[in-house]
Structure 1
Amino acid sequence: MAGRATTQSNAIPAWRKRIEDRIAKARALIGRLTSFRSGNNRPRIMRTVRMAFAGTNISLSQPDITQKLTERIDDLKQKIAAWGKRIRRFSEGSRRFNQNRLFQSDQKRLYKLLERPKVCGAGQGPDQADIIAFWRGLWSEPVNHSEGPWMEVVASQGATVTPMDPITITPEDVAEATENFSTRCEQLRLEAKRIGTIIQTYCNSKST
């Protein structure tokens, strides 16, 4: 019974499995969209891209398809980030709930669990091609950002601010500051010693 309970407690919750599946599918789709944007026109890639734009008025032959691909990739990245935050938020809430419940029933066991080092399991890693395509889509491709009117307002307000003069710190400045710090520390040490002597003298006078 104990072994079965442990296995159930270590099992991945259904809600987390669903979100992780969404993240995996979104990452795979990002890789294929990025591959198509780079000129890969294999039938499997084309089929995936068409499915990604199914239900829209976007055609793969339209002139601005590159921009549409970039927008779709950015949208998927934002969804992945949101799903990741949801997993972390739910996991933290579940962890706190379980710890509070265990604190009420078995504090000794809770403390042992808190002291036990975490061991990360090494499962099967993702495919190398998917990894390369995913990170290339994040770092190697240009991204179109929405330039809202508020950015122009902020830029115009900042244009009237006088920039601060550049500060140059020389080795001499560092040496002088270090010397002053050492001198101040020595002064504080002597002052503490003097106060200690006064207190000791006072205590001796009271004891006699």
Structure 2
Amino acid sequence: MQSRHARCWEAAAILVAAVIVSACNACGKGSSGTGAGGPNVAAGSSSTALAIPVARTSVPPDAGPSIQRDVAMWTNAKEGVPEDLASLAVHEGAAGLVEASSESALRTTAIRAMGYARGYAQLPALADFAASKNDEDGRLALEAAVELAQRGRPQEDHEDDDELREGCDKLSELARDVKRPKDRRISAIRAVRGLPCPTANVPTDLDAH
């Protein structure tokens, strides 16, 4: 027969073990459930964020006023009217237009609107389209680059200097490429000379044309 002292120690050990098991179960529920900080929450938040589409081409049945406005702006700008393109450029910004240009249904409108967007963050994308094999995209991109050059920007605005430098380099490369169509090279030269780009390497062999 166990002594009273031994039975007390045994009861205490059982009680401590029960407390530990209960605490572990509570921790497990907190980490695997939907509470703050749990992986399900993080995964849910991430998937929810990724699942939110940017409506630009069609209005969902339950769309609110903001989505309806977005689709209307893209629809209006599709006609190529400068005022509508400028409004779209202000609404989307350079980054939004560059993102939209990856969608074939929006590409033409997005490229056109880039000529009216603030700053030069869109210039590398315009230069890429200008050098692409697609003649229509190339023509529109160079027209937008020339429009951008004519608009200019405040001298103190240097937030997109890297993009400006990259775009200038690509347009200058296009202007120097004698294998490229002459009309593209001439438009690239116009854009480079109108933009705050270095002009030392701009060719002069097409100046008389």
- Report the TM-score when normalising by structure 1: 0.20
| Structure with greater helix percent | 1
Tell me which of the two structures has the higher relative contact order, counting C-alpha pairs closer than 8 angstroms and 6 or more residues apart: 1
